[in-house]
Structure 1
Amino acid sequence: MKLASYKSGRDGQLMIVDRGLQRCCPAGDLAPTMQTALDDWSNIAPRLQERYEHLCEGTLDASSAFEPGKCAAPLPRSYHWADGSAYVTHVELVRKARGADMPTSFWEDPLVYMGASDAFIGPEDPVTAESEDWGIDFEGEVVVVTDDVAAGTTADEAAKHIKLLGIVNDVSLRNLIPGELAKQFGFYQSKPWTAFAPVFVTPDELGTAWDGARLHLPLRATLNGELIGAPNAGQDMTFDFPTLIAHCAKSRSLISGTVIGSGTVSNVGSKDGSCCLAEVRCLETLRDGKPSTPFMSFGDRIHIEMLDGEGASVFGAIDQQIRPFERSTV
């Protein structure tokens, strides 16, 4: 099943989207919003699934062309957004480029931070910043969405709580990060709103690419028409999603609609390229002594997408332009 949210108010209008991302139909009579569906998933999901099957079969009258430009994030705001750094070789590379050793504990205990979830943005909404000097970077990631997860849930138990998957551009303002981390209190200003691809999908839609813990498909990142990388999201993922969920639920329960990110997808040696410019720059630093690739500039366009084995888009595309923001109340 594939689900989206058309822009409407703060929480969107829940839509069911067909497998090929061509047609859609409203689901408001079953659940007005994605969060409503997640709050009663065991009862609502089968009814959404039935309508999805009719939509895919072409036997549903009330359908229309799917328009990604109308999409908010599938879950326009969430009670909880926890982002990991599951590809530890990426962390190792970044630290190596700045001459820092990596504690051995990083291979055994996941890095996770809580991000801003009061508003996620849609696949074609612009990335905005006040200044190019902030070091605007994209980060291609895979995310999972859970139902209620009890505190103390183990990794073995956690897999059953994964209800939906998606991909995101977890934007980073790289030049603001060092100052924040120097305070030893984590990210805030350096992590603006996160953008989501148009649809979330249920695990069964992914076939053998989803093994219950990792998604084994390449995540393609293209900047201004140039492919930056297409690393496989299932490869070199040190901490799988059940492990990340268990880590987050160690000391408290997770509420339905919790979104947990993988961190920047990265493969050892980056032979398939990178899903962020920071990694490109680190590789350049190790090779040449300094980076040569700039961070993004106003007017740049970043495109992030995951294709299945047949070349079809799984989640739809994130396609965003970088723009200066205008001051407003929202």
Structure 2
Amino acid sequence: MRFARHRTPQGPRLAVLDDEDVLIDLPEGLDLPALLADDGGPAAAADTALRAASPGVPLIDADLMAPLDPPTVRDFSTFPEHTAGIARNIDANAGVPEEFWEIPAFYFSNPYATAGPHDTIPVPPGCERFDFELEVAAVVGRPGRDLTVEQAAEHIAGFVVLNDFSARDVQFHEMRLRLGPAKGKDTATALGTVFVTADELLHRASGTSYDLTMRVLVNDEEIGTDQLDNMAWSFPALAAYASRGTEIRPGDLLGSGTCRNGCLAELWGRYGQDFHRPLRPGDVVTTEVELLGGTRNRVVPGSAPHPIRPGSRT
């Protein structure tokens, strides 16, 4: 099943896609996290809506929103070549740290920064090196705590494309304090056109993930491509680690982290800072992942930062 959310005169509406890529609305007031929390709810709601055969809106004509507003966003690092490329911005000889193979590390991102697949994206205040990051996120469907990897597989409801827009100069500045990233990732995280249930991808299962081609383009020029099954950590492993000592709940996002060649900062680290200029207003960033859809967002000017000063300096 595939679900999308679109703007209507009556407000946001969750819908299921039929075989012709037409949005068939679900009952008013439903959102995806609540639907996922009801065991069997997505299948039942989709079946009822499709059987009713009420008029729908073609996906290409819909005013799409993010398929869900996630209550939490954890963004992991699972692609080793991306990790090495990023590290080379600091150390030209850097490789993949040993810790990468010990834990599927993540940071918490800002759920309030969720943007739709076609929304405009403002440049973050004070940012001069704006970047994109091509990822896929798993969406949690069942609550759980201290899960094993095997158990965690049953808690993943499906997947959505994720573009983690990043203020690289802000990020690298703040991370010199050995915290973060925080403000470097705080302005916009675009989610793809559709949420796709996990069963739709079973025939493409491969290694730790799925054999799906990922692409990112700027102004329709391809910048990078990779395969999702190049992840070193599986989505169930991410869910298990996320649940360690705490809870995961329906609607939580677990980002794969950026794929190889999926952002400018990795390419700057590998090929030099002049490989491609940072994003600027007017640029259009497009992401595509087989079977999962994608995003297409235009960058627009943002606001200037207000000065903030410490009370004293010793």
Question: TM range, normalised to the smaller chain?
Answer: 0.7 to 0.9
In structure 2, do the counterparts of structure 1 residues 66 and 97 end up closer, same or farther at CA, with 3 Å as the change threshold? Answer: closer
The residue matched to 2:228 in structure 1 has which SS? coil
The Cα of 1:143 is off from its aligned counterpart by 0.6
Partner of 1:316: 293
In structure 2, do the counterparts of structure 1 residues 212 and 95 end up closer, same or farther at CA, with 3 Å as the change threshold? Answer: closer
Q: Verify the 8 A CA contact 1:223 1:303 in the aligned structure 2.
A: yes
99-108 vs 178-187, greater mean Cα deviation: 99-108
Of the three residues 109, 114, 117, the one matched with 2:108 is: 114
Partner of 2:265: 278
Partner of 1:65: 58
Q: Verify the 8 A CA contact 1:17 1:52 in the aligned structure 2.
A: no
Partner of 1:18: 18
The Cα of 1:134 is off from its aligned counterpart by 2.8
In structure 2, do the counterparts of structure 1 residues 169 and 68 end up closer, same or farther at CA, with 3 Å as the change threshold? Answer: farther
Q: Verify the 8 A CA contact 1:136 1:173 in the aligned structure 2.
A: yes
Residue 44 in structure 1 maps to residue 36 in structure 2? no
Moved over 3 A (4+): 51-54, 100-103, 130-133, 210-213
The residue matched to 1:142 in structure 2 has which SS? strand
Q: Verify the 8 A CA contact 2:208 2:232 in the aligned structure 1.
A: no
The one-letter code sitting in structure 1 at the alignment partner of 2:58 is A
The Cα of 1:207 is off from its aligned counterpart by 4.0
TM-score, normalising length: structure 2: 0.88
Q: Verify the 8 A CA contact 1:217 1:306 in the aligned structure 2.
A: yes
Identity between Structure 1 and Structure 2 (%): 25
Residue 295 in structure 1 maps to residue 287 in structure 2? no
Alignment: residue pair count: 300
In structure 2, do the counterparts of structure 1 residues 53 and 25 end up closer, same or farther at CA, with 3 Å as the change threshold? Answer: closer
Q: Verify the 8 A CA contact 2:161 2:293 in the aligned structure 1.
A: no
TM-score, normalising length: structure 1: 0.84
The Cα of 1:278 is off from its aligned counterpart by 1.2
In structure 2, do the counterparts of structure 1 residues 8 and 39 end up closer, same or farther at CA, with 3 Å as the change threshold? Answer: farther
Q: Verify the 8 A CA contact 1:302 1:321 in the aligned structure 2.
A: yes
Please give the alpha-carbon distance, in whole angstroms, between the structure 1 residues aligned to 2:64 and 2:227. Answer: 26
Partner of 1:270: none
The Cα of 1:119 is off from its aligned counterpart by 4.3
5+ residue gaps, structure 2, are: 305-314
Of the three residues 67, 87, 94, the one matched with 2:86 is: 94
Please give the alpha-carbon distance, in whole angstroms, between the structure 1 residues aligned to 2:302 and 2:205. Answer: 38
Q: Verify the 8 A CA contact 1:4 1:200 in the aligned structure 2.
A: yes
Q: Verify the 8 A CA contact 2:131 2:167 in the aligned structure 1.
A: yes
Of the three residues 30, 33, 38, the one matched with 1:32 is: 30
Please give the alpha-carbon distance, in whole angstroms, between the structure 2 residues aligned to 1:154 and 1:95. Answer: 31
Residue 194 in structure 1 maps to residue 193 in structure 2? no
5+ residue gaps, structure 1, are: 267-273, 308-313
Please give the alpha-carbon distance, in whole angstroms, between the structure 2 residues aligned to 1:303 and 1:197. Answer: 10
**CA RMSD, Structure 1 to Structure 2 (Å):** 2.4
Partner of 1:137: 131
In structure 2, do the counterparts of structure 1 residues 209 and 68 end up closer, same or farther at CA, with 3 Å as the change threshold? Answer: farther
Of the three residues 102, 105, 122, the one matched with 2:99 is: 105
Please give the alpha-carbon distance, in whole angstroms, between the structure 2 residues aligned to 1:234 and 1:133. Answer: 33
The Cα of 1:172 is off from its aligned counterpart by 0.6
The one-letter code sitting in structure 2 at the alignment partner of 1:104 is E
Please give the alpha-carbon distance, in whole angstroms, between the structure 2 residues aligned to 1:164 and 1:223. Answer: 27
Partner of 1:170: 164
The Cα of 1:185 is off from its aligned counterpart by 2.1
The Cα of 1:44 is off from its aligned counterpart by 1.3
Partner of 1:181: 175
Partner of 1:221: 216
The residue matched to 1:145 in structure 2 has which SS? strand
Please give the alpha-carbon distance, in whole angstroms, between the structure 2 residues aligned to 1:246 and 1:38. Answer: 18
**What does the per-residue CA deviation read over 1:272-311, in whole Å, with 9 as the maximum and x for residues that have no partner?**
xx211112212213xxxx533111111111111123xxxx
